[in-house]
């Protein structure tokens, strides 16, 4: 129910390149490397200038890899109904994101599929005008 | 015939706009108070007209002078901006520095305008920026330098005019690497063109970088009454640095 307060917009306008309000997306992330991360939330840091989702993802070979996934600012998320309790350790979620250019397990989220199945904005799209 | 109708409608619109009378405070000045934000994020991406590119949606130029909408860079300076564009990790804002004037007026975050008799204050959510603009005619500070500089304001009818000096010359104009340099001065003009539209213009003069002054114009839109400024601590969640190329690498042709 904690996610019931989320009034979020999914990819209804068509998925767009992520834009961080704080820094240029292009400085760090690669739009040629989209990645879908399906895993378990380890931690959700709800803060500025970016919130971060730490996610354990199981690779096909069975190994578990921890990803750091950047979203928009807490302020942008908050204005869309996100709260610090919106994600909790143990939640199973799926994130559509773009990998960092440096090849690390870091990515910039565009949408997050919540445990109840809703796909919501990570507040890092170019439509971030709230 | 259709053209005539369209022209007539356009004429009515222009007349209606110019006839707009802003609400005034008891001191006789227009009431700019409220929460505002750039009506478009295009200028935050790139103040010049730009096609869609890696990480950037297409958008029009916000440069209204010179005609043509291009920044009047001196020889060699456009190349420096293009080099910045290839090294966006140098963007001061990405490193949690202040936006600088005029960029601070059109980020993708709201700002609040407060007025009293001797000051106009602009609070920007991003970086917790505070621009305190005296209107009592006091002189500029001597030997002062900062990201947003030193502002002094005065009223010209219903237009608020701000002169900005003391800019540190490190600021970018947008995320695309357009920049101002040492010695830049800015004249800003604010006016209400409709109840919920605050027109912002900034004329930048910077002979070290540009061959002539240029002016940007960005409409600010009033945000709904339930929008409030929020805290924006820029350090706590800034975890990008480890994934960026070395910042501030030497720039060919950069000013010393």
What DSSP line would sit under B143-167, residue for residue? Answer: T--BSS-EEEEEEETTEEEEEEE-B
Residues of chain B with pLDDT under 70: 1-18, 54-55, 245-256
Residue B136 to residue B108: CA distance in whole angstroms: 31
CA atoms B112, B114, B120, B123: torsion sign: negative
Interface test with B, best of A20, A28, A99 (most B CBs within 10 A): A28
Q: Quick one: what percent of chain A has pLDDT higher than 70?
A: 78
When CB atoms are compared, the residue of B108, B125, B236 closest to A47 is B236
Q: What are phi and psi of B58, to 5 degrees?
A: -65, 155
Residue B140 to residue B167: CA distance in whole angstroms: 12
Does residue A33 form part of some domain? yes
Instruction: State how far the alpha carbon of B208 is from the alpha carbons of B65, B180, B182, B204, in Å.
Output: 18, 9, 7, 12
Does residue A127 form part of some domain? no
How many domains does the structure of chain A reveal?
1
Kindly state whether A97 is in contact with chain B, defined as any CB-CB distance less than 8 angstroms. Answer: no
Kindly state whether A104 is in contact with chain B, defined as any CB-CB distance less than 8 angstroms. Answer: yes
The predicted structure's pLDDT at residue B19: 75
Q: What are phi and psi of B115, to 5 degrees?
A: -130, 140
SS3 B4: helix
CB B156 within 8 A of CB B141: no
Q: What are phi and psi of B5, to 5 degrees?
A: -60, -45
Instruction: State how far the alpha carbon of A56 is from the alpha carbons of A3, A91, A118, B80, B193, in Å.
Output: 21, 11, 20, 42, 52
Taking CA atoms, what residue in A is nearest to B97?
A22
The predicted structure's pLDDT at residue B2: 53
Read off the CATH number of the domain in which A15 is found.
2.40.50.140
The predicted structure's pLDDT at residue B7: 53
Tokens of A124: 């890092």
ipTM of the complex: 0.76
Does residue A93 form part of some domain? yes
Instruction: State how far the alpha carbon of B16 is from the alpha carbons of B8, B9, B24, B160, in Å.
Output: 12, 10, 19, 21
Q: How many CA atoms lie within 13 A of A65 on its CB side?
A: 14
Q: Which domain holds residue A72?
A: 2-121
Tokens of B30: 């227009």
CB A120 within 8 A of CB A6: yes
Please provide the DSSP assignment of B166-231 as one string.
Answer: -B-S--BSSTT--B--TT-EEEEEEEEEETTEEEEEEEEE-TTTBSS-EEEEEEEEEPPTT-----
Residue B133 to residue B122: CA distance in whole angstroms: 8
Residue B180 to residue B204: CA distance in whole angstroms: 9
Query: How much is the mean pLDDT over chain A?
Result: 81
Does residue A128 form part of some domain? no
Cite the DSSP H helix spans in B61-110.
Answer: 77-86
CB B165 within 8 A of CB B148: no
Furthest C-alpha separation in chain A: 42
Tokens of A71: 């979203």
CB B238 within 8 A of CB A51: no
Q: Do A106 and B55 touch (CB under 8 A)?
A: no
Q: Do B55 and A25 touch (CB under 8 A)?
A: yes
Kindly state whether A80 is in contact with chain B, defined as any CB-CB distance less than 8 angstroms. Answer: no
Q: Which of A27-31, A87-91, B144-148, B187-191 has the lowest mean pLDDT?
A: A27-31
The predicted structure's pLDDT at residue B99: 95
The predicted structure's pLDDT at residue A83: 93
Kindly state whether A122 is in contact with chain B, defined as any CB-CB distance less than 8 angstroms. Answer: no
User: Cα torsion for B68, B72, B75, B80, to the nearest 10°?
Assistant: -100
The predicted structure's pLDDT at residue B153: 98
Quick check: A3 pLDDT over 50?
Answer: no
Residue B111 to residue B248: CA distance in whole angstroms: 29
The predicted structure's pLDDT at residue A105: 96
When CB atoms are compared, the residue of B57, B91, B96 closest to A24 is B91
SS3 B15: helix
Q: Do A48 and B56 touch (CB under 8 A)?
A: no
pLDDT class of A56 with cuts at 50, 70, 90:
very high
Does residue A85 form part of some domain? yes
Does residue A130 form part of some domain? no
Does residue A116 form part of some domain? yes
Q: Do A48 and B233 touch (CB under 8 A)?
A: yes
0.95 surpassed by pTM: no
In 3D space, the residue among B4, B148, B172 whose CA is nearest the CA of residue B84 turns out to be B172
Q: Do B108 and A128 touch (CB under 8 A)?
A: yes
Taking CA atoms, what residue in A is nearest to B111?
A130
Does residue A60 form part of some domain? yes
Q: Which long-range contacts (CB under 8 A, 24 or more apart) does A53-61 make?
A: A53/A87, A53/A93, A53/A95, A53/A109, A53/A112, A55/A93, A55/A95
């Amino acid at each position: 129910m904690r996610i019931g307060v989320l009034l979020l917009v999914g990819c209804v306008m068509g998925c767009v390149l992520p834009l961080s309000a704080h820094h240029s997306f292009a400085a760090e992330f690669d739009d040629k490397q989209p990645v879908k991360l399906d895993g378990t939330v380890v931690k959700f840091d709800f803060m500025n200038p970016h919130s971060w989702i730490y996610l354990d993802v199981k690779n096909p070979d069975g190994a578990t890899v921890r990803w750091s996934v950047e979203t928009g600012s807490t302020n942008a998320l908050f204005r869309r109904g996100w709260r610090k309790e919106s994600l909790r350790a143990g939640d199973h979620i799926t994130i559509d994101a773009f990998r960092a250019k440096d090849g690390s397990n870091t990515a910039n989220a565009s949408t997050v599929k919540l445990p109840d199945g809703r796909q919501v904005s990570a507040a890092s799209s170019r439509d971030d005008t709230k | 015939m259709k053209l005539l109708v369209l022209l007539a409608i356009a004429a009515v619109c222009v007349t209606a706009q110019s006839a707009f009378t802003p609400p005034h405070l008891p001191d006789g000045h227009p009431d700019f108070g409220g929460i505002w934000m750039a009506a478009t994020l295009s200028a935050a991406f790139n103040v010049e007209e730009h096609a869609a590119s890696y990480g950037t949606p297409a958008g029009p130029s916000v440069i209204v002078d010179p005609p043509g909408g291009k920044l009047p860079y001196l020889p060699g300076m456009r190349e420096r901006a293009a080099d910045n564009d290839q090294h966006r990790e140098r963007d001061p804002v990405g490193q949690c520095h202040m936006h600088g004037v005029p960029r601070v007026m059109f980020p993708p975050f709201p700002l609040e305008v407060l007025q009293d008799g001797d000051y106009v204050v602009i609070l920007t959510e991003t970086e917790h920026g505070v621009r305190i603009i005296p209107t009592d005619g006091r002189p500029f500070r001597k030997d002062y330098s900062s990201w947003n500089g030193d502002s002094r304001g005065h009223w010209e009818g219903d237009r608020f005019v701000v002169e900005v000096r003391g800019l540190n010359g490190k600021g970018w104009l947008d995320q695309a690497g357009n920049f101002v340099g040492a010695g830049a001065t800015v004249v800003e003009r604010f006016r209400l063109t409709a109840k919920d539209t605050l027109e912002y213009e900034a004329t930048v003069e910077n002979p070290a970088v540009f061959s002539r002054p240029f002016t940007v114009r960005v409409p600010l839109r009033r945000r709904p009454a339930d929008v409030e400024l929020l805290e924006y601590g820029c350090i706590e969640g800034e975890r990008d640095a480890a994934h960026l190329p070395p910042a501030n690498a030497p720039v060919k042709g950069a000013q010393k």
